[in-house]
Chains A and B, each alone.
Chain A
């Protein structure tokens, strides 16, 4: 298994542009998480899906951020319009049975730079 797959690995864009980050979770995992990592704030949970349904999106910074999970094997995180303060590494993680087991499997991350 290739593990959690994220794309793109790196994205450089200009302020105001739309950014779409993609994630393919591990097959059979029913929980999917999007985290954002910055130097100042560390790893922050953005949104959590269970069985493709958004359960907790309280970490989504503002309306410019949206996330979808149309099926069990694909999720997107969209930022529109992007701003320089959105520059960060965005991680997708999946697990079998939610966070209670504590074992989240992380992707390699998407490093976003907004100029």
Chain B
């Protein structure tokens, strides 16, 4: 079965601390994985995709097939990073995204 698991509902860190938002998946074959972010009073939007191997707003995510993980990391958190983060996976049929339940990141000074 295809599934995305985000084990943490809430992650609270201090400004300047490293951040790691966990995402694990189950999927047969090669998954296509993404991170979405929803800032307060804004729309849910794409943050980054694993295939691009990009760094967006200081965030990176590496696909680890052995551990079936796609954790989102940032070395130094900023207050403006406070938001809800969703990990997502393209379903087996290639028709839609399956989302995890999301993790709220709270960065305080």
Contact = CB atoms under 8 A, between A and B. Distances in A.
A115 interface: no
Contacts of A50: 95
Nearest to B41: A108
For chain A, the bracket of interface size reads 20 to 34
Contacts of B96: 33, 45, 48, 56, 99
Contact of B99 (A3, A43, A103): A43
Contacts of A41: 101
Interface in A71-115: 91, 93, 98-100, 102-108
A45 B101 contact: no
A103 B46 contact: yes
B101 A42 contact: yes
B106 to A, nearest CB: 17
B17 interface: no
A48 B95 CA distance: 7
A12 interface: no
A69 B32 CA distance: 27
Contacts of A48: 95-96
A103 B95 CA distance: 12
8 closest residue pairs by CB, A with B: A42-B101, A43-B99, A106-B44, A102-B34, A99-B96, A45-B96, A102-B49, A48-B96
Interface of B: 32, 34, 43-46, 49, 86, 88, 90-91, 93-102
Given A43-B99, A98-B95, A100-B32, 13 more contacts: A33-B96, A41-B101, A42-B99, A44-B99, A48-B95, A50-B95, A56-B93, A98-B94, A99-B90, A99-B97, A100-B94, A103-B46, A105-B45
